[in-house]
Amino acid sequence: MDILFEEKQKAVQALNDLKIELHKKGWFPATSGNLSLKVRNNPLIFAVTSSGKDKGKVTHEDILFVDKDAKPIQQTNLKPSAETKIHSKIYQNTDASCVIHIHTVNNNFLSEVFFEKGYVPIKDLEMIKALDIWEENAYIKIPIVKNFFDLDTLAQETEKVITKKVPAVLIRNHGVYVWGKNEFEAKRHVEALEFMFEYMKNLILFKGSLNIW
């Protein structure tokens, strides 16, 4: 299985640009998080950040290409990010072409306080429109999955809660996966969600209650 040099270069450049931009926001602490970009649909091939690399830098070892089973399609010494199978599940169940996974205090906080409910409820916030949800009195639920140590189990459980309406899944005390039809849309979605997460965290702490709506 092979891909054209031009395809590889385009994907690497796009992911590196996005990676640096999100790193500047502080969303990849301690080499955490990962990014991917779909290159082909059938068979599924996508570019993904390699494991354990500083996402504030760009080197020739930052990106590799994998198949739907998260296995490199070419000989390489690089290791895909640990949660690459989750990216694959998202591509197989949505029309996404870009997936972003980040760790922040805000998304960890909400994933913990709403875990028993099974989702984070978000209501009547203007920023919901950035998710392409144009409804009066819009109300959405961001699903939360237990942070299973076994990554195959985590990928399977994440797949179960993926929805077409809301392009995101939270992993309890871990981070959020967000996707879009391209890197621009995925970036817009993750920025909107992090804005809403921060707003909700602050409102909960201000009111001293989870009953904020």
End-to-end CA separation in angstroms for the chain: 51
Looking at every residue in the chain, the average pLDDT score rounds to: 93
Cα dihedral 26, 146, 65, 36, rounded to 10, equals: -40
Confidence (pLDDT) at 143: 98
| Predicted structure pTM score | 0.94
Q: Look at residue 1 and tell me whether its pLDDT is greater than 70.
A: no
Work out the percent of the chain whose per-residue pLDDT is above 90. Answer: 80
Between residues 168 and 76, the one the model is more confident about: 168
pLDDT value of position 82: 78
Q: Which of 93-97, 100-104, 106-110, 206-210 has the lowest mean pLDDT?
A: 206-210
Q: Which CATH architecture has domain 5-207?
A: 3-Layer(aba) Sandwich (3.40)
In the chain, % of residues over pLDDT 70: 98
What's the pLDDT score for residue 190?
A: 98
DSSP string for 73-123: SS--S--B-TTHHHHHHHHHHSS-SEEEEE--HHHHHHHHHTTTTTEEEEE
How high is the pLDDT of residue 121? Answer: 96
Per the listing, tokens 């028993």 go with 116
- Block residue for tokens 């070892």: 61
- Stretch 185-207: mean pLDDT, rounded? 97
Domains in the chain: boundaries:
5-207
What gap in Å lies between CA 109 and CA 205, rounded to an integer?
11
Amino acid 179: pLDDT: 98
